[in-house]
Amino acid sequence: MIDIALLRAQPELVRENIKKKFQEQKLPLVDEALVLDARRRALQTEGDSLRASRNALSKQIGLLMREKKVEEANAVKAQVNADAERLAAVEKETEEVEAKLKAIMMRIPNIVSKDTPVGKDDSENVERQRFLEPKVPGFEVPYHLDILEKLSGIDIDSARRTSGQGFYYLTGDIARLHSAVLTYARDFMINKGFTYCIPPFMIRSDVVTGVMSFEEMDGMMYKIEGEDLYLIGTSEHSMIGRFMNTTLEEKQLPITLTSYSPCFRKEKGAHGIEERGIYRIHQFEKQEMIVICKPEESEMWYDRMWNYTVELFVSMGIPVRTLECCTGDLADLKYRSVDVEAWSPRQKKYFEVGSCSNLTDAQARRLGIRYKGEEGSKFAHTLNNTVVAPPRMLIALLENHLRADGSVNIPEVLRPYMGGKTEITPKK
């Protein structure tokens, strides 16, 4: 949510930003917000005047009563009562106007970075850097489900019977590899100075509407029937929500946390064969990182965070590249975002395995996350980034470390978490 003072002072900047995001249907929101803001300020001025008048008249009534001027005192009392009725009406209207204004402001997208390329969708994201040379082996790389099945590492048929489409059982060494990746990622981030945390896996609606746009919520979140609770789509939701309506001390910043959680997503829509299997699923696990910092530090943390993800993948011998997300691919709360994509030898292209976002103060405004320093109270900046999400990581790892005989080399950094195993071989 942007600052109303910014919209008031530079409405054309806000309109131009909406156009950059190809959301012209939201342009009328700017004028609606300005009208409501003007009305709110007029009501506040009237309310303040009525309160000041009430205090002055109350003192006048006391003086008149001491002077036994009962008739005049009663006339002033009548005025006080009339003002009280008007004040009640003003306060009620103020509350209604503020609610309408907040609802509109929450739909106006955050101002994007000047470094964000203008584009309609993810097809216009811009490649920035590549890390490790992508390779295609001299043998055909099977579909990842075939690799997993030959390694006796997955059971999708049983999961369909128990849970439906979009679920799976991982078994044996593959299940162990899945856990090894998460544990390695946890330790990797702890060694970077982040504090490890396991958050609640359900959050209330006020947290949900604070951490994401309404469109995202509808497309992602599972609601618990009969409860004001939603299953988290990523631990970032509950991690940032932890600081809702909190004023931190400046010396506490930056707050750097890394968190483990299962994640639950609707994943609406149909996808191609390469996005079936374990690429797009309703339940998965993830290691995440978040940062809450001062405004002048958020861009530094943004670069540092996505670099951590790149470093993690490179340490496991997986080629990756970074893409700067274009304006049309940014969620409304995001100032800028970079996707990390891993190389797929099977598809001979990269696919998304993580995303790093700087939300500046837009998310903090919705959640009420402030910090207090010598210059007073300010909204903090919030950032989030995927360390690793093993289902997609498993695809990248299996394809890039597959051998011609069907066995899979275990990257050296993961071997301590696999009991010293160096490979996973097909079961005969």
In the numeric block, the tokens 């009620």 are attached to 92
pLDDT computed for residue 248 by the predictor: 97
89-94 mean pLDDT: 95
Does the fold of domain 122-424 match that of domain 4-105? no
pLDDT digits (tens, 9 = 90+) for 200-240: 999 999 999 888 876 777 778 899 999 999 999 999 999 99
What burial letters (b/e) apply to 209-239, b meaning 16+ CB within 10 Å? ebbbbeeebeebbbeeeeeebbbbbbbbbbb
User: Which of 67-71, 109-113, 221-225 comes out lowest in average pLDDT?
Assistant: 67-71
pLDDT digits (tens, 9 = 90+) for 122-134: 999 999 999 999 9
Closest CA to 279 of 212, 365, 352, 360: 352
In CATH, the architecture of 122-424 is 2-Layer Sandwich (3.30)
188-197 mean pLDDT: 98
pLDDT computed for residue 110 by the predictor: 96
Flag whether pLDDT at 420 surpasses 90.
yes
For residue 206, give both structure tokens: 């006020």
Mean pLDDT of the chain: 93
pLDDT computed for residue 276 by the predictor: 63
Instruction: Express as a percent the part of the chain with pLDDT over 70.
Output: 97
pLDDT computed for residue 273 by the predictor: 41
Angle between helices 70-105 and 28-66 (to 10 degrees): 160
Domain ranges for the chain: 4-105, 122-424
Peptide bond into 254 cis (omega under 30): yes
Closest CA to 23 of 334, 361, 332: 332
pLDDT computed for residue 73 by the predictor: 81
pLDDT computed for residue 62 by the predictor: 78
Flag whether pLDDT at 45 surpasses 90.
yes
pLDDT computed for residue 60 by the predictor: 82
Flag whether pLDDT at 274 surpasses 50.
no
Contacts with 244 (C-beta within 8 Å, 6 or more apart), sequence order: 206, 207, 210, 367, 368, 369
> pLDDT category, 280, cuts 50, 70, 90?
confident
pLDDT digits (tens, 9 = 90+) for 247-260: 999 999 999 999 99
CATH for the stretch 4-105: 1.10.287.40
pLDDT computed for residue 271 by the predictor: 45
Instruction: Express as a percent the part of the chain with pLDDT over 90.
Output: 80
Flag whether pLDDT at 108 surpasses 70.
yes
For residue 379, give both structure tokens: 């909204």
pLDDT computed for residue 272 by the predictor: 46
The pTM score is 0.89
DSSP 328: G
